[in-house]
C-alpha cells in the first residue's frame, strides 16, 4: 500500500485485502487525502452479500464501493454510498446483459473491463447517461489517451508508469 500513497493519484480502488486490515488500510489512505473505493466482491473474510456490504459501509467507511452484483448496487444506494458497477464486456451477449443491468440498477458510475476496448467504451457511453470509468489492460499513455477520447472520465490501472498521468 505504501506504493500507492506516494503517487499523485487521488482515487484508489482497493481490489484485495481482508476483513482484519481493511479499516486500517482505508483510514490510512483517507488520511493521505485519497478517495477510496472498495471492491466488495474481492475482500477476504467478508461475504459479498448485503450484511458484508453493510459492515464495510458502516464500519470501514470507504468513499464508495465497486461490485459486479446488481443487488449490492441497490443495497449500497440504500446505505447512501457512491456505487460503481464493474462490467466485463467480453462479447455481444455480455454487452447486452451489461446495458440491461446498468439501466435496471442505476449505479453512480460503471467500470468497463477490459478498458482498452475503446469502441465498446464509446458504444456504452452512447447508450447510458452516466460516467464511465475504464479499467483492465491499460498499460501506457496511449491507452489512457485513447480511453479518455472514447468517452471515459477516468481509467483504473495497476501499471505504475501511468499513475501520475
Within the chain, all domains assigned CATH 3.20.20.70 are found at: 1-83, 89-165
pTM reported for the whole predicted model: 0.83
Residue 46 CA to residue 22 CA, distance in Å, equals 10
H or E element in which residue 25 lies: helix 22-31
Domain covering 1-83: architecture? Alpha-Beta Barrel (3.20)
Give the pLDDT of residue 119: 84
Give the pLDDT of residue 1: 57
Q: What is the DSSP string of 47-61?
A: -SSHHHHHHIIIII-
pLDDT digits (tens, 9 = 90+) for 34-85: 999 999 999 999 888 999 999 999 999 999 999 999 999 999 999 999 999 9
2 pLDDT band (50/70/90 cuts)?
low
Within 10 angstroms of residue 115's Cβ, the number of other Cβ atoms is 27
| Sign of the CA dihedral running 53, 54, 58, 63 | positive
* Strand-pair partners of 14: 38
Domain covering 89-165: architecture? Alpha-Beta Barrel (3.20)
Q: Is 142 left (phi over 0), alpha (psi -120 to 50) or beta?
A: alpha
Pairwise pLDDT comparison (60 vs 126), residue with the higher score: 60
Residue 52 CA to residue 42 CA, distance in Å, equals 11
Helices 118-127 and 141-149, packing angle to 10 deg: 30
Amino acid at each position: 500500500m505504501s506504493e500507492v500513497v506516494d503517487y499523485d493519484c487521488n482515487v484508489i480502488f482497493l481490489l484485495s485485502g481482508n476483513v482484519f486490515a481493511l479499516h486500517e488500510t482505508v483510514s490510512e489512505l483517507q488520511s493521505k487525502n485519497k478517495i477510496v473505493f472498495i471492491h466488495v466482491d474481492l475482500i477476504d473474510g467478508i461475504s459479498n452479500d448485503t450484511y458484508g456490504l453493510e459492515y464495510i459501509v458502516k464500519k470501514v467507511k470507504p468513499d464508495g464501493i465497486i461490485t459486479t452484483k446488481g443487488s449490492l448496487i441497490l443495497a449500497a444506494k440504500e446505505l447512501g454510498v457512491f456505487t460503481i458497477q464493474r462490467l466485463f464486456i467480453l462479447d455481444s451477449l455480455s454487452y447486452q446483459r451489461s446495458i440491461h443491468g446498468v439501466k435496471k440498477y442505476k449505479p453512480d458510475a460503471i467500470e468497463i473491463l477490459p478498458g482498452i476496448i475503446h469502441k465498446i467504451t464509446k458504444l456504452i457511453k452512447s447508450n447510458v447517461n452516466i460516467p464511465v470509468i475504464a479499467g483492465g489492460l491499460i498499460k501506457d499513455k496511449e491507452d489512457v489517451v485513447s480511453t479518455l477520447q472514447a468517452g471515459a472520465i477516468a481509467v483504473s490501472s495497476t501499471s505504475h508508469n501511468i499513475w501520475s498521468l
